[in-house]
Amino acid sequence: MLVNSKHYRSIWVKDNDKRVIQTIDQSKLPHYFEISDLKTSDDVIHAIKEMTLRGAPLIGVAASYGIYLAALEAKSETVDIVSFEKFVNTKANELKSTRPTAVNLFWGIDQTLKAISKYNTIDEKINASFNCANKLANDDIESCRKIGGFGLKIIEDIKKSKSSDIVNILTHCNAGWLACIDYGTATSPIYTAHEKGIKVHVWVEETRPRNQGASLTAWELGQTGIPHTIITDNAGGYVLQKGLVDLVIVGSDRTTCTGDVCNKIGTYKTALAAKDNDIPFYAAFPSSSIDWTLKNGLNEIPIEERDAEEVKFIQGKYKNEIVKVLLTPQDSPAKNFGFDVTPSRLVTGIITERGICEANEKSIRELFPEK
Ligand code: MRU
């Protein structure tokens, strides 16, 4: 994606230094565009925990690079293959404990450990982890590009059926290129439609408490010149009810094989309002976000609970500095649930790299028969 007309991915290997991984510090956006260096597996662990990098597909790829950095560290800190493997496995477990909900995290780590396990020497294992992380990054880009192509058809069909020539799309949180490696999931069909000359306008729900919609999605859309309007999360129902939305597209952090979609907190309320107003509600994600072991999203998906301070304070820019201010009575307790589950019955369809299907086990497995 372009930032000030220069192409970026959300994560990459530093030019001329394969031992450094670079990312965009999302905690500074939209005010400052800063690049962070990840030099150790602990840097990756910290970045995922503190959400300087975030979004399910990006977390999965970053964790894979985290295993690669752990393998480099293991080479300098250990003496034999047994202690090398012990070191890498300890870091893998630490990476897995950073965030519980996005299944891509566990998928990315397991893919990388599997790639390493095929080789016998330390240098071969390091190479395997590096190649695996690069492959996961490239595969994610390709998946998101394909999601854009499949989702475009939905937007084109809506355009044909409307008298006005603008298609209004509502999204929640940031399922854009920052959350992935490029293109995004929910945003990929929007970018593709825009490139094809279809007029789109995006309603961006702010997505309290971390405001990924207001700060990240709005910034991304602005960089690409796509008309958009930020609304409070509470206004989502209103715009759906007033006929101001043609289509809802969100991302997902973990979807069961039965089509229950777990996504950023607030998605469920948006899905309910979409259903009540007969507005199509799609979830777009690569298959790395599908948890093939789970059937009941509500009972089985672990929901991250984050620090209550994220609810009580809000971050913004004041006199060129990024500051946090207290919103609530100092002593009032707060709860910070990170995600919710939208049951499959509220989901019109899911958009994946293999195509679009209904949100049920039969349709999902038809797209992915090997699973
Ligand atoms: O907590 P975050 O910011 O890592 O949340 C993840 C998300 O951005 C979303 O829920 C997103 O819509 C799905 S990931 C493309």
CA dist., res. 292 & res. 290, Å (int) = 6
CA dist., res. 88 & res. 213, Å (int) = 35
Digit-coded pLDDT (tens) for 225-258? 999 999 999 999 999 999 999 999 999 999 999 9
The pLDDT of residue 106 is 98
Minimal-distance CA residue to ligand 1 atom 7: 55
Digit-coded pLDDT (tens) for 19-32? 999 999 999 999 99
CA dist., res. 177 & res. 265, Å (int) = 20
Pocket test for ligand 1, best of 53, 104, 173, 301 (most atoms within 8 A of CB): 173
The mean per-residue pLDDT over the stretch 334-351 comes to: 98
**Is the pLDDT assigned to residue 78 strictly greater than 90?**
no
For the segment(s) 2-139, the CATH number from 3.30.160.20, 3.40.30.10, 1.20.120.420, 3.30.2130.10 is 1.20.120.420
Sign, Cα dihedral of 93, 101, 285, 202: negative
Candidate list 253, 260, 291, 340, residue with the active-site label: 253
Digit-coded pLDDT (tens) for 352-361? 999 999 999 9
Both tokens of 236, joined, read 């989502």
Within 20-150, strands assigned E span 21-24, 35-38
Digit-coded pLDDT (tens) for 266-319? 999 999 999 999 999 999 999 999 999 999 999 999 999 999 999 999 999 999
Q: Are 346 and 281 in contact (CB under 8 A)?
A: yes
Digit-coded pLDDT (tens) for 95-142? 999 999 999 999 999 999 999 999 999 999 999 999 999 999 999 999
CA dist., res. 171 & res. 218, Å (int) = 10
Catalytic residue list contains 253: yes
Ligand 1 pocket, 139 CB below 6 A?
no
Q: Which of 185, 183, 181, 191 is nearest to 155 (CA)?
A: 191
Q: How many angstroms separate the alpha carbon of residue 268 from the centre of ligand 1? A: 14
C-alpha distances in angstroms, 212 versus 331, 341, 356? 26, 18, 26
The reported pTM is 0.97
Q: How many angstroms separate the alpha carbon of residue 136 from the centre of ligand 1? A: 18
Ligand 1 pocket, 213 CB below 6 A?
no
Peptide bond before residue 30 is cis, with ω within 30 degrees of 0: yes
User: Bridge partners of 261?
Assistant: 255, 342
Minimal-distance CA residue to ligand 1 atom 5: 55
Confidence class of residue 79 from pLDDT cuts 50, 70 and 90?
confident
The pLDDT of residue 354 is 98
Q: Which of 353, 49, 48, 11 is nearest to 181 (CA)?
A: 11
The ligand 1 atom at the shortest distance from the C-alpha of residue 56 is: 14
Ligand 1 pocket, 173 CB below 6 A?
yes
CATH topology of domain 150-367: Rossmann fold (3.40.50)
Confidence class of residue 5 from pLDDT cuts 50, 70 and 90?
confident
The residue type of 195 is: E
Digit-coded pLDDT (tens) for 160-196? 999 899 999 999 999 999 999 999 999 999 999 999 9
Ligand 1 pocket, 53 CB below 6 A?
no
List of residues 6+ apart from 26 with CB closer than 8 A: 51, 52, 53, 54, 178, 216
Residues of each domain in the chain carrying CATH 1.20.120.420: 2-139
The pLDDT of residue 208 is 98
Ligand 1 pocket, 140 CB below 6 A?
no
Confidence class of residue 143 from pLDDT cuts 50, 70 and 90?
very high
Number of alpha carbons in the 13 Å side-chain half-sphere of residue 166 = 13
CA dist., res. 59 & res. 14, Å (int) = 18
Residues of each domain in the chain carrying CATH 3.40.50.10470: 150-367
Ligand 1 pocket, 194 CB below 6 A?
no
CB environment 132-160: b (16+ within 10 A), e (fewer)? bbbebbebbbebbebbbebbbebbbebbe
Q: How many angstroms separate the alpha carbon of residue 104 from the centre of ligand 1? A: 11
Both tokens of 80, joined, read 């034999």
